[in-house]
A and B are shown apart, each in its own frame.
Chain A
């Protein structure tokens, strides 16, 4: 519809085909919809067979679910990607500098650019990390930056994921599936590859090994276990990197190193890519009830005996209250203007902002500062009066727990539905690797798509799906 206010990545706002989609469009027009429907089913079978499922918490094994996959790719031009990736790189550099600063001299606070209580009172701030120098100076070895788009050149960062960003296995398997199903599309388009990610990840992690490392660094992936919702991804990454997948009960501290129990005794680990939250990492230093971590790993870490990726305490950088200061943070540490803007954000801890948010709840998206997965948030325009009134009570009870943002006109990408191609809203999570030699961003990332017509919530826990994301070589 011409009155549609949303920017469609294939058709723009004026129904004229955009360049990156030209070849795809030609192909699609010549395709038989019945064949495509069969392909869509084939894709699901492939996913099921390879076991790319996520577990639903607290359910039996029969409850492994597929994240719906849409066979229509999302396509970005090389130039669009170049601009976007420069902005992401700048932001990730700033995040690492910020983390180093707040766990050392806190110059940003001294300079008056960030209120002291944003750190002191922040639940994600980890006092154990004060003065700790992580190997190679890297805090966030793996970052996922969630980006949304509202126009041809208008990208915004919606969220930084600096703890343990997930979803990269979907990026890789989506591509694998597309290559199997539509080889002809890849012959006609020059799509930049994503398949090097596991190799790059292993090299990047190895490059962050502590000085104590002898020979080739031993890397391992730490998973909470087979019942974790992202277990598939943990196993997938360990497998693709060719490293061991360990759980807390495989590990113990031996002679000042964290070591894994092998069939021939204990072997020290140099770099641990942990997919376990800070809280559960070390029952001696954090949550004493944790069965998922390793008793004493924090002491080994502080003594330089192991690299933990991402470093403990990085959560403070993706905290949603800190998010609103990101433009200042980028400027403070890089001396440059941010290349990628934030979404305008009201901090409900601030009295004026809170007053505005209270007045405009029906127009805004309100999120918990520490929330994720699309839980505990209010989408004003989609909420009932009662939902809004209920949410207002929660907001008043603990304003500092919330931020608010305008409802964005997220871009749409054509998606395969029963009625043919229909526009659906998307976001994008590019994956970034950081090591002492630099920053690498895999071209593309994970596109999440809200499959329900008109919906703006892309989270898989809320009915979202995924798409293969192409960056063309221009």
Chain B
């Protein structure tokens, strides 16, 4: 398979994942704004930070308002990570690697794009926002489902999955990076109303609120949330889950070679140094440093994959 095709598949799935995660961040932000439990401007600022677009937003728009934040995250083409920009970029990559996709996958991506053009091509009224985000989530889910159901399990599939899980791990890590302070043990064991809202925000951002309550009980606190998002192998958005998937796909790509690939070695390092501990060890190490380091290592792993599989040269 062409290096260019690997690159296109990798980014197609990164962008789809990013679109979906950003959509979820918007939903969470909107929910907090509506329940009026937090300080809206600072919440939107942290949503923009979690999405990794704060510096660009500040430079382009300056003042944080709900409308400005939602518009920037949702549909501004000046923001290359806005939901709309991501869908356009995903579709552009899909065109580039059209021969590596099944017809079903291509149609799902193309219709996601056509719906986005229609829904996000113009200003979205507040009352239309929930429906608009729901359509988007369903559209990206359809792409995932078609991929799961129709794509040959081989090299191409591996690159698609690598893109998905690198992006997802990065997104989860960023949410933790922005909110780490509300999870520190120095916060009270039984949270204030404000703490509870913050915890809830984190769980909603990774679509894990229900599962968490079910598994960890009503009295669970920040320590459990941290464990859940980082180390719980059952949560499809936890760092440990993403790392396990990455490992599987890197192994599959390396099948037939006697030695592990450089990317495998890098992932192995992340696994051993960061994901093989108890949650208390993470707090001892320093949650913020821990997360910052993981984000950097994930970026480094992505670069290694690009190099090793000749994405560009």
Contact = CB atoms under 8 A, between A and B. Distances in A.
A and B associate: yes
Interface of A: 48-51, 61-62, 226, 231, 235-236, 238-239, 243-247, 249-250, 260-263, 265
B204 interface: no
Given A51-B110, A61-B88, A226-B96, A262 B117 contact: no
Contact of B2 (A62, A231, A262): A262
Nearest to B309: A263
A238 B110 CA distance: 19
A185 to B, nearest CB: 23
B95 A226 contact: yes
A62 B77 CA distance: 13
A378 B10 CA distance: 49
Counting contact residues on chain B (CB < 8 A from A), the size range is: 20 to 34
A49 B2 contact: no
Given A49-B107, A49-B111, A51-B110, A263 B95 contact: no
Contact of B4 (A51, A62, A238, A250): A250
B99 A245 contact: yes
B2 A246 contact: yes
A455 B99 CA distance: 37
Sorted nearest first, the 9 A-B pairs with minimum C-beta distance are A235-B98, A263-B309, A239-B99, A238-B99, A261-B3, A245-B99, A263-B6, A51-B110, A250-B4
Nearest to A243: B99
B92 A61 contact: yes
Contacts of A250: 2-4
19 contacts: A48-B110, A50-B107, A51-B95, A51-B98, A51-B110, A61-B92, A226-B96, A239-B98, A239-B99, A244-B99, A245-B99, A247-B4, A250-B4, A261-B3, A262-B3, A263-B6, A263-B155, A263-B309, A265-B310
Nearest to A50: B107
Nearest to A245: B99
Contact of B95 (A48, A231, A247, A249): A231
B111 to A, nearest CB: 6
Contacts of B114: 48-49
Contacts of A246: 2, 4
Contact of B99 (A51, A62, A235, A265): A235
B92 A244 contact: no
A261 B2 contact: yes
A257 B203 CA distance: 55
B313 A261 contact: yes
B106 interface: yes
B110 A49 contact: yes
Contact residues of B: prevailing secondary structure: helix
B1 A263 contact: yes
B302 to A, nearest CB: 15
Contacts of A61: 88, 92
Contacts of B3: 250, 261-263
B99 A262 contact: no
A260 B98 contact: no
B92 A260 contact: no
Contacts of B313: 261
Contacts of B88: 61
Contacts of B155: 263
Given A48-B114, A262-B310, A263-B310, A226 B4 contact: no
Contacts of B96: 226
Nearest to B6: A263
Contacts of A249: 4
Contacts of B98: 51, 235-236, 239, 245
A267 to B, nearest CB: 9
A48 B106 CA distance: 12
B137 to A, nearest CB: 20
A226 B97 CA distance: 10
Interface string B107-135: 10011001001000000000000000000
A226 B155 CA distance: 23
Given A50-B107, A239-B98, 18 more contacts: A48-B110, A49-B107, A49-B110, A49-B114, A50-B103, A51-B110, A61-B88, A226-B96, A235-B95, A235-B98, A244-B2, A244-B99, A246-B2, A249-B4, A262-B1, A263-B6, A263-B155, A265-B310
Contacts of A62: 117
Q: Which of B6, B98, B309, B313 has the most CB of A within 10 A?
A: B98
A49 B253 CA distance: 32
Contacts of A231: 95
Contacts of B106: 50-51
Given A51-B110, A250-B2, A261 B310 contact: yes
A439 B2 CA distance: 32
Nearest to B101: A239
Contact of A261 (B4, B95, B111): B4
